[in-house]
Amino acid sequence: MSTGSDDSGRSEESPQRPEVSHPVADGRAERPAVAYGGLPSEAAESVAPARQSWSTVGFVFAAIALLLFPLIFGVIGIGAGLYGHKKGEALGYWAAVAALTALLAGLAIRVFFFDADLIPAQN
C-alpha cells in the first residue's frame, strides 16, 4: 500500500526549509562574513586614554620651578594645572598642587641654602 510514506514513516514530500537572511549554497547555509576590526568607533572613543597635556605642562613647570626660578615657573605651573583641571583633566589639580609645593620648596632652598634674597637689592 502506497499512502505517500516510505517504511520509516516519513512523507515523500521534501521538508520545508526555514528562511535565512544570508545566501545558501549547495544546500548548506554559509556563515556571514565577520569583520574583526576591533571595537566600534563609539566604544573606541570612550576607551581611549584622555590626554593630559596641560597637566603634563604643569608638572614640567613644577620641576623647573624647583630648580631654577620658583616665582616665575611655579606660578605658570599652577596656572597650567588649574587650566587642565578646568578642561576636565584628572591630574590637573595635582599638577597645580605640585607646582605650588615646588614654588614654596624652591623659595626655601634659595633662601636657606644659597642665602639669596627673594628680591635682589639694587645698589
How far apart CA 90 and CA 43 sit, in angstroms, is 20
Cell of 102: 615646588
Residues 43 and 46: their CA atoms lie apart, in Å, by 5
- pLDDT at position 62 is 96
Question: Is the pLDDT reported for residue 33 higher than 90?
Answer: no
d(CA 31, CA 11): 30
Q: What is the pLDDT of residues 5-21, one digit of tens each?
A: 555 555 566 667 666 56
pTM for the structure as a whole = 0.55
For range 19-37, the mean pLDDT: 60
What is the 8-class DSSP label of residue 12? S
Tens of pLDDT, residues 48-81? 456 889 999 999 999 999 988 999 999 999 999 9
Residue 106 scores a pLDDT above 90: yes
For residue 57, which of 41, 78, 36 has the smallest C-alpha distance? 78
